[in-house]
């Protein structure tokens, strides 16, 4: 087997700033790589996770002009953990504002996990603005995916982590855990809010790696990270991403002609392969790579190999 590709060396932004997108929100953005090279926008996961220096390194910096940004309410964007005017469609509009700011007619769109959802929503709204798509860990916001992660699915694989996740919720409220967490994450008691945020974020941290990762778990319970990702994720889950059931699959027809690679871990227990397979069936032109020893995170060796090979291919 050919040697697996890894991240490009660390790089720093050549430009960064804050973009006022209205509604009281200001987005942190940065550009890395080579100004004027092939434009690409990176859409991070969560929702609410924010971008990181490692995300810059999935692209050849000599061949790409990489725009990364922190979506509403997370990372370095302000106000922190805000749910006001924070929906899928606000973010789709934000991406267009950023494209106009960069000054390009079209760009490549790269997104994993929730970032794959947002990539699909953006590309189906503005297909004329997308040159290629690179997607990982497909999440379509259909009911079975929500139930898998937050009601009765992944508990069969991680009964210990699940028991900890539900332990702060009384038995009588466990029929709808997303709603039970919503009450705590949006309540006035800051101590209760933080307890719920850490439990929510830790549960996700348990499911995203193929093998246990103390580093991922430690990051998941960091207070600032946990509050943003738990509040914003829960807000999106309660509202089902402001998407109709099956909407992104039906909308795949709008993506005909856009070159695409989907990289999906076989053992992804956060966003299982069923959604990636359904998307591929609806959009057979998209190349689907199921990584036999991959989990959810982009940093899983086989998943990362597929992503970097895809960005290298599209750079040419």
Q: In this structure, what DSSP letter does residue 70 have? A: P
Distance from C-alpha of 122 to C-alpha of 115, rounded to nearest angstrom: 10
Continuous segment of H or E residues that includes residue 133: strand 130-136
Active site residue 160: no
- CB burial of residue 308 (10 Å; 0-12, 13-18, 19+): buried
Catalytic-role residue among 82, 268, 280, 305:
268
Active site residue 113: yes
Calculate the CA 93 to chain-centre distance.
17
- CB burial of residue 47 (10 Å; 0-12, 13-18, 19+): buried
Active site residue 55: no
Strand 130-136: give its sheet, edge to edge. 15-22, 25-33, 64-69, 38-43, 107-112, 130-136, 260-265, 287-291
Distance from C-alpha of 92 to C-alpha of 120, rounded to nearest angstrom: 10
Give 87's Cβ-side CA count (13 Å radius): 10
Catalytic-role residue among 77, 113, 155, 201:
113
Pair 128, 106: CB distance under 8 Å: yes
Residue 37, sorted as left (phi over 0), alpha (psi -120 to 50) or beta, turns out to be: beta
Catalytic-role residue among 94, 142, 296, 305:
296
Q: Active-site positions?
A: 113, 268, 296
């Amino acid at each position: 087997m050919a040697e697996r590709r890894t991240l490009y060396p660390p790089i720093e932004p050549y430009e960064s700033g804050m973009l006022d997108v209205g509604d009281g929100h200001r987005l942190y953005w940065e550009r890395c790589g080579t100004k004027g090279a092939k434009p690409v926008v990176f859409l991070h996961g969560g929702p609410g996770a924010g971008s990181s220096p490692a995300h810059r390194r999935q692209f050849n910096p000599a061949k790409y002009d990489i725009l990364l940004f922190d979506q509403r309410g997370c990372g370095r964007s302000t106000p922190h953990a805000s749910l006001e005017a924070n929906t899928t469609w606000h973010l789709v509009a934000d991406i267009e504002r950023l494209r106009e700011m960069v000054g390009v007619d079209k760009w490549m769109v790269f997104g994993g996990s929730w970032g794959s959802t947002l990539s699909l929503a953006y590309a189906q709204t503005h297909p004329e603005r997308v040159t290629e798509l690179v997607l990982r860990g497909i999440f379509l916001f259909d009911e079975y995916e929500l139930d898998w992660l937050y009601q009765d699915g992944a508990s069969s694989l991680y009964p210990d982590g699940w028991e900890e996740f539900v332990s702060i919720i009384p038995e009588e409220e466990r029929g709808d855990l997303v709603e039970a967490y919503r009450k705590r994450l949006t309540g006035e008691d800051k101590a209760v809010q933080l307890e719920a945020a850490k439990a929510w974020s830790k549960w996700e941290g348990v499911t995203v790696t193929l093998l246990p990762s103390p580093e991922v778990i430690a990051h998941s319970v960091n207070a600032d990270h946990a509050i943003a990702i738990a509040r914003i994720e829960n807000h999106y889950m309660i509202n089902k991403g402001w998407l109709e059931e099956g909407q992104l699959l039906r909308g795949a027809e709008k993506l005909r002609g856009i070159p695409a690679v989907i990289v999906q871990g076989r053992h992804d227990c956060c966003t299982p392969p069923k959604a990636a397979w359904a998307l591929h069936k609806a959009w057979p032109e998209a190349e689907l790579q199921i990584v036999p020893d991959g989990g959810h995170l982009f940093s899983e060796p086989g998943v990362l190999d597929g992503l970097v090979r895809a960005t290298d291919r599209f750079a040419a």
